[in-house]
Amino acid sequence: MILDQIIAHKREELAARRRCVPEAELAALAADKPCCRDLAARLRAPGVSLIAEAKRASPSRGLLCPDYRPGELALAYARNGAAAISVLTDSRYFQGDLTHVSVVRAALDDANLDVPVLRKDFLFDAYQIYETRASGADALLLITAVLSDSTLSELMSLARELGMTALVEVHDEFELARALKARPRDEGDNNRDPRDRTVDLGTFGRLEPLLPEDVVAVSESGVRTGDDVRRLAQMGADAVRVG
């Protein structure tokens, strides 16, 4: 499974990062950042909010944007109504980089656009949470499928301590039940099956009724048209992530 391959590589990558920058140094940098923008509050606005994704490539579709300029792309998204910007930072499979978060944050700040930035990557260790905040991100993605219950709770707690919002991704009823134990503010139903990469918007419709009313419901993957958005709105989506 591609997800297993990605996580195996990320563990090797994390070990190398630790050798370069100690966790205590990252924690100090994270603590020194200004207050985060509240992603959950932004996504509760009337209608269906858009999390627009800055992504250079993907394992399923290859290179998407040869002339990739994440700062300029984020500005275009924000100026055209995006409620938040998601930035892919995985290097091997998505050709991203953690510095892209800082580039996007700086571009938005320079343009006086008060839009939250979410780091999208495969996170499973406290070190990655500290580096996420140190990079300037306001929010991050936690994928339930790659985390134990205890690790999910620990990483969510640390994200909250640092002022960030955690968007918790699930793919089925079992993962949703696990995620809700950690009491997320934002919950993303990923319509793409990680086992075979197939997409079914009905996944969101099946899981949304199981969400508590105080949790923001985000539909992820497979959203391509206005009709898709209208369909998801009827299912109860507060936001969609498109990239």
Of 198 and 110, the one with more pLDDT: 110
- The burial of 54, by beta-carbon neighbours within 10 Å (0-12 exposed, 13-18 middle, 19 or more buried), is given as buried
State both tokens at 215.
């949790």
Reported as a pLDDT band with limits 50, 70 and 90, residue 134 is: very high
- How many CA atoms does the CB half-sphere of 28 hold within 13 Å? 5
Contacts of 189 (CB under 8 A, 6+ apart): 169, 170, 171, 176, 203, 204, 207, 208, 217, 218, 219, 220
Structure tokens at 224: 């391509």
| Per-residue pLDDT tens digits for 15-42 | 999 999 999 999 999 999 999 999 999 9
**Cβ neighbours around 25 below 10 Å, total:** 12
Mean pLDDT across the chain? 92
pTM: 0.94
Do strands 49-54 and 239-242 pair parallel, antiparallel, or not at all (unpaired)? parallel
- DSSP letters spanning 159-213: HHHTTPEEEEEESSHHHHHHHHHT--SEEEEE-B-TTT--B-THHHHHHGGGS-T
Compute φ and ψ for 72, nearest 5 degrees: -65, -40
pLDDT band at residue 198 using 50, 70 and 90 as cut-offs: low
Which of 55-69, 198-212, 228-242 is predicted with the least confidence, judged by mean pLDDT?
Answer: 198-212
How high is the pLDDT of residue 196? 52
pLDDT at 106 over 60: yes
Residue 185 has pLDDT above 90, yes or no: no
The answer to whether residues 92 and 61 touch, using CB atoms and an 8 Å cutoff, is no
